[in-house]
Chains A and B, each alone.
Chain A
């Protein structure tokens, strides 16, 4: 064995990473090579020097400080995460209401087109419901286009707000209503 190879293996020897055969070969080289023996001695001294470095005691309140941060982190997580999940989990009733309102809004948008308004079926019944329907159709077909668009825009906006509130979930609705009530000039 050459000294160069032995020098590399010395560290593995210290760490007990050599096979039995490699150990024997190295030990026989060490027995006949004073410079490699000196190298091993010094490497062992260095390793001992490192291993004998005292363990530094941590501050007495370290555990307390860590757990305070953990508790703070956990409470923040509880505050933020469940709320964000609730917002995006509307109930079935809320989804149905939102769908109904969306359908009405879509119909209102379609009614802005005069050609579609003329296609509305004529009511010919004499019951109050049919009469009301006839009057509404008559009003829609005869009303000024700009006024109709404005009215539909207002209705559409209101429907949009209602849809948002329906989908947002009860928690968000409660917060919204509270905020609205707080802003009312007279309570």
Chain B
């Protein structure tokens, strides 16, 4: 079940995405213009509108709730500070997702500094509990989530943008500043990698059992 991403928009008198996309974009442009002139109320509406999407993107990249919260704040602060440089050539959301992605990558790089510690901790956990027991606990959704988080960031992001943010190839190319051909390749490899890992952990069998 997919939770609706815009719970508070109706109460704010904002139009819903998907139903009337053009007015939302125009509305965004107006709010962005006002925010550029220092209108914090206008920026506050943009935050309300996109915080869940940005938070989810960051959360899926980092797989850590506290970090996702921090990086989401960092993303919006960077957007506020960078608004004077935003020329409106791309859509505001595209620009915002790009910032979120870059902030997430920065955070992942920072994590690498204490990677040795993490590896040590993981190996301890593995020693404590056999892998098969761990996987038995995971239902399909958790397994997908788990395996998604194990993919390299460049593959993880294309799956997140395509399947969790419902972006087209063109939108993904804009966010990641890559040619569409590269997006296709990354998506192809990412799905194949995920598919192989899920197969090796018996995802298919579980699916069939669920259906049966």
Contact = CB atoms under 8 A, between A and B. Distances in A.
A56 B64 CA distance: 11
Interface residues of B, number: 48
A66 B44 CA distance: 9
Contact of B1 (A17, A45, A49, A54): A54
B29 to A, nearest CB: 19
A69 B72 CA distance: 12
A5 interface: no
Interface stretch (B17-25, B97-105, B186-194): B186-194
A43 B191 contact: yes
B47 A67 contact: yes
Interface string A35-68: 0000000110111011111111111001101110
B77 A46 contact: no
A70 B80 CA distance: 7
Given A46-B195, A54-B141, A63-B51, A70 B76 contact: yes
A56 B59 contact: yes
Interface in B50-108: 51-52, 55-56, 59-60, 65, 68-69, 72-73, 76-77, 80-81
A67 B43 CA distance: 9
A67 B44 contact: yes
A78 to B, nearest CB: 9
Contact of B73 (A50, A53, A65): A65
Interface string B124-143: 00000000000000001101
Contact of B195 (A42, A51, A70, A73): A42
A20 to B, nearest CB: 18
Contacts of B198: 46, 49
Q: Which of A15, A54, A58 has the most CB of B within 10 A?
A: A58
Nearest to B60: A53
B201 interface: no
Interface in B162-196: 162-164, 169, 184, 187-188, 191, 194-195
A71 B43 CA distance: 11
A11 interface: yes
Given A54-B2, A74-B38, A46 B73 contact: no
A71 B48 contact: no
Contacts of A49: 140-141, 143-144, 198, 203
B159 A12 contact: no
Q: Which of A56, A66, A67 has the most CB of B within 10 A?
A: A66
A66 B204 contact: no
Interface in A1-47: 8, 11-12, 15, 17, 42-43, 45-47
Given A62-B55, A63-B48, 4 more contacts: A11-B191, A42-B195, A46-B195, A62-B73
Interface of B: 1-5, 38, 40, 43-44, 47-48, 51-52, 55-56, 59-60, 65, 68-69, 72-73, 76-77, 80-81, 140-141, 143-145, 148, 159, 162-164, 169, 184, 187-188, 191, 194-195, 198-199, 203-204, 207
7 contacts: A45-B207, A50-B159, A57-B3, A62-B72, A66-B73, A67-B43, A70-B76
